[in-house]
Amino acid sequence: MDYSLFQNSPAIGAGTNAVQQPARDYYGNSIGNGPVNIGIYQGAPVPGGPTPTPTPPTGSDVVYVMEDAQVRDGSFADTNYGSATTVGIKKASARFTRRGLLKFNIGNRNVSSATLRVYATSNSAQAYQNFIYGVSDNWSENSVTFNNAPRTGSSSPIRSFSITSANARWYDIDITDYVQSQAEGDGIVSLLLTDRNTSKYLTRITSKEGNSDFRSHIIIESDDKTIVPVLEDSYTRAGSFSNSNFGSAATVNCKTSSPRFNRFGMLKFNSTLYEDNIVSATLNFYASTNTANSFTQNIRALGNNWSENSVTENNRPTPRQVVAPVTFDSQEGRWYSIDVTDWVQEQKDNGWTRVSFAFEDTDRSTFLSRITSKEGDRTMAAFLEVDSNSNSNVTTTETRNSDAVDVERSFSVYPNPVNLDFNVEKTFDSTDNIEVSIYTITGELVTSTTEKVEAGLWSKNFSKSELQLSRGIYTVKLNCEKASGFSSKILVF
């Protein structure tokens, strides 16, 4: 049976506390002069007690802080605070400025979202901003000081967050972009927390030495769907064009007619970008045709012994088995998504670092398909979407507790595909602070907006023209202070 002492617990005895220096209870709440009740409680926190640790989303990973420390300037610039119970953040005159350092070992993984969670208190009820920077990993909590701590240099902060209460509480900060970059590198995340304004407000983050139950951590959710952009694309043409190379063409063409007009399309992808355990693989491409009629062509397996800059009809590899048929039905053009799991898995199992596809028409229909190439429009070029997680079967995802309501009802992005405007919509059980962000397929931030929402249905409209969205695929992320994160891919025409 676990018990904890807390200042406002049901009284089992009374006493008087005369505070000579600023004092705080076990959870960081201020203690003033006057009567103090000391007691015990079991189980759920009593009124006035600490903010309980929020439950991480089901299926997420919690990475606890590996090292944490504060550094202080002035006459304390060579002092190490690695064993301190709090990590201080403050901007003031010399001798009183403090900066916080946190280090995490996240390893190498596919990160879809990452939330830094810290338990902090303040010396002021006034709201103010702290800032987070990514820094080098060459520091140790047992030896770092203000003089040898890593510096931010000219870099911009990863994120700012508002300290809104003098009482201790949890703060969640989205640091997805930085964690993703570190997960692709050495797997170590080092953060420097600072106040850039001389506000004299002091933030105290509970360290792992202070209370391991309230130590800082990163909540990581993994989206095992990997987007693999096309590496090489080209087509060949028969007849008098048999020695011509079309690797720089704006489209990848396919057609069977008289010999001089035959075209044979090819796509190649880097298979080292996704994991071995493949659940599904989808080939996505944007294509138009030369007819209003529907017609079918075959996607075939292809060897990798070709280059887009040199392949011709005379030297191209011979296609292998049929991977899947595709029915083209749009003269103006649309996106196609074709299941190619078996071929992608076969190439991965055989140890190949590339996987290639051929487009072939065997019906001599004279109908021409035109797939947009990366040279024609990189934002509309073909890509593979590879899923190595058996639990990930939809593009709109949420990871929540087992008693969650239906995901599709609670969060949606529509219409999708997008021609003009689109809406982001969610039902909230209570008031919440949210952030909506839109990213390109390569992870570049397009826009981000924050607001406070009330309980009930919330909806926000976004304009394609105002955001200057070009054709392509984007990710919409909704981060909530009280709920789990949401994301959805959208296709913009």
- Residue pLDDT, tens place only, 404-415: 333 333 578 888
Considering the domain boundaries, does residue 91 fall inside one?
Answer: yes
pLDDT surpasses 70 at 14: no
The neighbouring-strand residues paired with 328 are 295
Half-sphere exposure of 107 (CA within 13 A, CB side): 8
Average pLDDT score over the chain: 81
Which structure tokens are listed for 134? Answer: 């990514």
Question: Residue 317 domain-assigned?
Answer: yes
pLDDT for position 369: 95
Tell me if 52 is assigned to some domain: no
How is 218-281 classified by DSSP, letter by letter? Answer: EEEE---EEEEE-SEEEEEE-GGGTT---TT-SEEEEB-SSGGG-EEEEEEEEGGGS-S--SEE
> Do 198 and 273 reside in the same domain of the chain?
no
Q: 20 to each of 24, 102, 202, how far by Cα in Å? A: 12, 31, 19
Task: Write out the residue range of the structural domain in which residue 213 sits.
Answer: 61-222
What is the rounded distance in angstroms from the CA atom of residue 75 to the CA atom of residue 95? Answer: 6
DSSP class of residue 176 equals H
Mean pLDDT of all residues in 62-82: 93
**pLDDT at 130 (0 to 100):** 92
The DSSP result for 13-57, as a single string, is: -EEEE--SS-EE-TTS-EE-SEEEE-EEE-SSPPTT-PPPPPPPP
Q: What is the dihedral of CA 400, 404, 407, 411, to 10 degrees?
A: -80
**pLDDT on residue 394:** 31
| Domain stop point among 163, 193, 222 | 222
Is there a single domain that holds both residue 193 and residue 267? no
- The answer to whether 96 and 74 are in contact (CB under 8 A) is yes
Q: Note whether 91 and 191 are same-domain residues.
A: yes
Are both 451 and 404 inside the same structural domain?
yes
In the block, which residue shows the tokens 């926000």? 460
Structural domain includes residue 371: yes
Helix (H, G, I), strand (E, B) or coil at 178: helix
pLDDT on residue 96: 85
Q: Are residues 19 and 76 in the same domain?
A: no
Would you state the pLDDT for residue 16? 44
Domain boundary among 359, 387, 415: 387
Angle at 413 between CA 412 and CA 415, to 5 degrees: 125
Let me know whether 209 and 330 are in one domain: no
Q: Is pLDDT above 70 for 15?
A: no
What's the average model confidence in pLDDT over 204-216?
91
Residue 201 and residue 240 share a domain: no
152 and 191 fall within a common domain: yes
Which range has the worst mean pLDDT, 6-20, 204-218, 219-233, 291-305?
6-20
DSSP letter assigned to residue 378 = G
Q: List the structure tokens of 9.
A: 């617990």
Q: For residue range 335-392, what is the model confidence (pLDDT) as tens digits?
A: 899 999 999 999 988 889 899 999 998 776 789 999 999 999 877 899 998 887 533 3
393 has pLDDT over 90 = no
Give yes or no for residue 468 having a pLDDT over 70.
yes
298 shares a domain with 199: no
Looking at residue 440, which CATH number applies to its domain? 2.60.40.150
DSSP string, 105-135: E--S---SEEEEEEEEEES-SS-EEEEEEE-
| Residues of the chain above pLDDT 90, percent | 43
Structure-token match 């075959």, residue found: 298
Q: Are 194 and 286 found together in one domain? A: no
CB 299 within 8 A of CB 225: no
User: What's the Cα-to-Cα distance from 422 to each of 152, 427, 459, 479, rounded to whole Å?
Assistant: 38, 17, 10, 18
Neighbours of 41 (CB within 10 A): 15
Most confident of 95-104, 168-177, 244-253, 272-281: 244-253
Asked if the structure places residue 121 within a domain, the reply is yes
- How many domains does the chain divide into? 4
Contacts for 363 with CB less than 8 Å, ≥ 6 apart: 256, 295, 296
Question: Mean pLDDT, to the nearest integer, of 200-209?
Answer: 91
| Same domain assignment for residues 232 and 373 | yes
**What Cα–Cα distance (Å) separates residue 257 from each residue in 97, 240, 244, 315, 366?**
76, 14, 18, 20, 5
Last residue of a domain, one of 204, 222, 240: 222
pTM for the model? 0.44
Of the pLDDT bands very low, low, confident and very high (cuts 50, 70, 90), residue 46 is: very low
* Residue 100 located in a structural domain: yes
pLDDT digits (tens, 9 = 90+) for 221-254: 865 567 788 999 999 999 999 999 999 999 999 9
Q: What is the DSSP letter of 313?
A: T
* 334 falls within a domain: yes
Residue 120 clears pLDDT 70, i.e. is over it: yes
207/110 same-domain check: yes
**Average pLDDT for residues 106-114, to the nearest whole number?**
77
* pLDDT given at position 225: 66
Taking the C-alpha atoms of residue 367 and residue 265, their distance in angstroms, rounded to an integer, is: 14
* Residue 367: count of CB within 10 angstroms of its CB: 20
Looking at the chain, the whole-number percentage of residues with pLDDT higher than 70 is 79
Instruction: Write the CATH number for 356.
Output: 2.60.120
